[in-house]
Amino acid sequence: MPFIGIRYDKGENRRKHNGTSSQAEIVYEYGHWVGKCPRGFSFDIAQSLIEDAIPEYRPRQQDSPFRLWNYYDGAVYAARTSDGGSTWHGYPQRDPPRNVLRELEKRADEQGQKSELKKWLNQKH
């Protein structure tokens, strides 16, 4: 189910998730793990991942998603909102919830990338 009317928002001066590698990665920076998007990650791709995302809901707040999840080119991406759900910022992530993981596996399988997804999930970050 596509999300209509939501937008990807890179954010002003938000550089934390900008990577220098040609692949998505999770790196240890300043005492915690940070997901880094591939160098030159396109705004159009980010927007399409947001629009076609798998929602994760929290039990106490079933009316709006807590996070949005998707899979692209060997990596899992999560997105969070800072304005109640109009705009979202995404980044590479590991350990999606089990119900989301099943949907991500189905998508990766449809794209012929199930082994790439497994490789991402099995990385020791």
Give residue 30's pLDDT band: very low, low, confident or very high (50, 70, 90).
Answer: confident
The reported pTM is: 0.86
Amino acid 61: pLDDT: 76
Listed by start position, the domains of the chain span 7-122
Q: Which residues contact 43 (CB under 8 A, 6 or more apart)?
A: 8, 10
Burial 94-106 (b: 16+ CB within 10 A, else e): eebeeebbebbbe
Which is more confident, 104 or 59? 104
